[in-house]
Structure 1
Amino acid sequence: MNKIALIYMGGTFGCIGEPLSPMPESTFIPQLQQLLPTKYQTIVSCFQAASIKDSSACTAQDWLQLIQQIQTLQLQNFQHFIIIHGTDTLSYASAVLAQFLQQSCHVILTGSQFPLLNIEGTALRSKTDALDNLNTSLEAITQIKAGVYLSFHQQVFYAQTAFKVHTTDLNAFNGIAIQEEYQDFSSKALLPLHVEMMHIEKANMLNIINWMMLPIEKDQLSQNLKQLLNQVPDFLIIQAYGTGNLAVNDEIINLFQQLRTLGCQTILTTQVLHGGIDQRYAISQWIKETGILLSNSHTQADLYAKILKIYLQYPTSEQWHDHWQ
């Protein structure tokens, strides 16, 4: 059978005690190995990630180090990987791995709403979804096509499409399941990116501002945009209404143009979870004047992953714009 690398990256899955706190990975990983189903004992090798932390604290650096670890293990003939990760940013981790690894190997990310072990950390917890999520991932990892996926509550989703829908429920994630017909045109024919130290160092400098629009007057939006002129981000994401609708005036259009001149790429997306953006309406004709980019990503996490990759691939703001599609 195929060798499987199981990489532990922290999260509720590996917590013990009351209140919950992370069990030291040197103690947790042997416990994890013992709880693997018998048929996987000899083919699964457990590893700790370079960065183990609460997933709400994870950033691009942590996920790039994980990709680097996966790419190193590929040289040791591992092609199947299961990642245990906290649920807060599980969709972001999945989307980043999907963008960077593409179809170069088989990867499933999973986590849990309850810890694997009891309060003392000595045995399997009586009420836990951790083992079930892990077993689902183990059963699926050698059956799926090459690519990156997120597994939760007996479901396996395409990583680019997955998003968290509930803070505490066991059925916490949604997306396009592997049983559904799906073709990811946004990353068609893209090659994996081999992660090097220079990418990790550069990622620390990436500055993204995300605004979910609320009903305020245009004059207030103008004032907010003017504040950005003092410290310009690399990317400004505008989560507009409906199909990407945003009411603007000449001053707002001018401010978007100024931001682009100063090196900020503005990306228009929608705060609606399903359906994507559609620029049929006259209210959006201003987009052509400003050169704003349109999101073609499945989720907010997928958009973040695309921004990160294009930021690391190309050195200038105008190249980010030119290569966006």
Structure 2
Amino acid sequence: MASRSTLSSLNSQSVQLIYAGGTFGSYGRPLAPLAAEVFLPALQQLVTEHDDAAFLPKLCWLDNSLIKDSSQLTPSDFVHFYTLLLSTYQAGERQFVLITGTDTLSYLGAFLAEAFAGSDISITLTGSMRPLLDSEELHAYKIDSHGDAWDNFREALRLAAAGQSGVKICFGGESWPAQTVQKIHSHDFMAFTGHHRAAYPDNSYIDKLTDTRRQHWLDDQQQVLAAVQNQPQHAHVHALYCLPNDPSVLSEQLQALLSKPPCAIILLGFGSGNVPYSPQLAEALQAAYKQGHMVVCASQCPFGGVSSSYAAGNWQYDYHVIAGGRLTLSAIYARLLWLLLRYDTPARRRQRWTYSVNQAGTSTSRQR
């Protein structure tokens, strides 16, 4: 289990904090991320002295060696956070806050939602569009009263302390199931949006597992942990973006991926998933399926997802393309990455995707 240092003990409820970098912990001129050994003691002091201190939960932080700009995160980094959370959850902790950068916040959140499906863990991710510390104050660490970091941090702590199982993203005064969230603005405080009509994996979380059921879940994770940790270098998710080009461009891009080991490919279609047809593209899609690649169609539109209503999109499903439904791009990426890490054959990955879709269709309420 990772070692922990207590930040405050004002309430009996304990929340485990993971600091992973991003704008939240940046400081100075020009802005640059502070090292954990500098930032976390400053955060400790600010939490203890803040007017809200009496209303915040007991807070501990986990030792985390991976602190970087979130635009640099890779599948190996996602597995690092999964492993850190898993080991601490196995040691008996349930409630976590993870602070990271906003560029890939929705991707990491959706990945953790997939990885911890079926458990009773409570993870809240947050970040900020402006740093926590005021860079106009160069002789002391003070909270930037005009920024969004403290408010996001405080609300994430309170959400985690409530202990509802699942993985959520808290930002701009709102929170959503992680799988529904996407970044919609590059610099506004209201940079993210999501919704609460979430199906799998959100509806797979259990309010409170018995010790026996939790141990069964943990045993299942331990059986595949070594494989998951060894797979990131070989787990590749590609994206092909439909543009108003000659159809040969798209088929050539797909053909270039067919020489690689089985991977995942997101086909970003127009509108409700419309993809320009050509015999060459149809042939390439058929070959991709035979070689074990998973091709999933998503929409370039931020809302609405894909459907088979139009012939311009429906044709691809005859060539084993998987419909992304209403999943966001982040959620599709996260699910594909987890399938590549967790399951060892193309057949098992497709079977699990189908199971997830069926789960989504059968229930939209939290299991009891």
TM-score between the two structures when normalised by the length of structure 2 = 0.81
Describe the superposition over 1:6-45 as per-residue Cα deviations: whole angstroms up to 9, x where unpaired: 1101111111111111111011111111222423677111
Runs of at least 5 residues in structure 2 that lack an aligned partner in the other structure: 1-11, 206-216, 355-368
Q: Provide the residue aligned with 2:89 in structure 1.
A: 74
Which one-letter code corresponds to 1:206 in the other structure? A
Cα distance in 1 for partners of 2:314, 2:27 equals 55
Going from structure 1 to structure 2, the CA distance change for 1:16 and 1:285 (only over 3 Å counts) comes to closer
Cα distance in 2 for partners of 1:276, 1:228 equals 25
CA contact (8 A) 2:25 2:39 kept: yes
Match for 1:194 among 213, 221, 225? 221
Please give the secondary structure, in 2, of the residue aligned with 1:127.
coil
Q: Provide the residue aligned with 2:249 in structure 1.
A: 220
Match for 2:131 among 115, 126, 133? 115
Cα distance in 2 for partners of 1:183, 1:12 equals 28
Q: Provide the residue aligned with 2:274 in structure 1.
A: 245
Is residue 318 from structure 1 mapped to residue 347 from structure 2 by the alignment? yes
Please give the secondary structure, in 1, of the residue aligned with 2:348.
helix
Is residue 127 from structure 1 mapped to residue 146 from structure 2 by the alignment? yes
Please give the secondary structure, in 1, of the residue aligned with 2:340.
helix
Going from structure 1 to structure 2, the CA distance change for 1:183 and 1:219 (only over 3 Å counts) comes to closer
Is residue 98 from structure 1 mapped to residue 113 from structure 2 by the alignment? yes
Q: How far did residue 213 of structure 1 move?
A: 0.7
Cα distance in 2 for partners of 1:160, 1:281 equals 26
Q: Provide the residue aligned with 1:12 in structure 2.
A: 23
Q: Provide the residue aligned with 2:33 in structure 1.
A: 22
Q: How far did residue 106 of structure 1 move?
A: 1.0
Please give the secondary structure, in 1, of the residue aligned with 2:231.
helix
Describe the superposition over 1:79-99 as per-residue Cα deviations: whole angstroms up to 9, x where unpaired: 111111011111111111111
Q: How does 1:200-279 map to 2 (within 5 A)?
A: 200-231=229-260, 234-279=263-308
Q: Whose helix fraction is larger, Structure 1's or Structure 2's? A: 2
CA contact (8 A) 2:237 2:337 kept: no
Going from structure 1 to structure 2, the CA distance change for 1:213 and 1:47 (only over 3 Å counts) comes to same
Q: Provide the residue aligned with 2:360 in structure 1.
A: none
Please give the secondary structure, in 2, of the residue aligned with 1:252.
helix
Q: Provide the residue aligned with 1:154 in structure 2.
A: 173
Q: Provide the residue aligned with 1:38 in structure 2.
A: 53
Say which is worse superposed, 115-124 or 27-36, in terms of deviation.
Answer: 115-124
Going from structure 1 to structure 2, the CA distance change for 1:43 and 1:160 (only over 3 Å counts) comes to same
Q: How far did residue 73 of structure 1 move?
A: 1.7
Is residue 83 from structure 1 mapped to residue 112 from structure 2 by the alignment? no
Q: How far did residue 141 of structure 1 move?
A: 1.8
Q: How far did residue 280 of structure 1 move?
A: 2.2
Match for 1:142 among 153, 157, 161? 161
Q: How far did residue 224 of structure 1 move?
A: 2.8
Which one-letter code corresponds to 2:102 in the other structure? T
Is residue 282 from structure 1 mapped to residue 314 from structure 2 by the alignment? no
Which one-letter code corresponds to 2:304 in the other structure? G
Cα RMSD, aligned residues only: 2.2
Cα distance in 1 for partners of 2:200, 2:192 equals 22
Match for 1:292 among 300, 303, 321? 321
Please give the secondary structure, in 2, of the residue aligned with 1:323.
helix
Which one-letter code corresponds to 1:85 in the other structure? T
Match for 1:55 among 70, 75, 81? 70
Q: Provide the residue aligned with 2:357 in structure 1.
A: none
Going from structure 1 to structure 2, the CA distance change for 1:18 and 1:223 (only over 3 Å counts) comes to same
Identity %: 28
For this pair of structures, how many residues does the alignment match?
321
Going from structure 1 to structure 2, the CA distance change for 1:252 and 1:202 (only over 3 Å counts) comes to same
Cα distance in 2 for partners of 1:87, 1:275 equals 23
Going from structure 1 to structure 2, the CA distance change for 1:189 and 1:81 (only over 3 Å counts) comes to closer
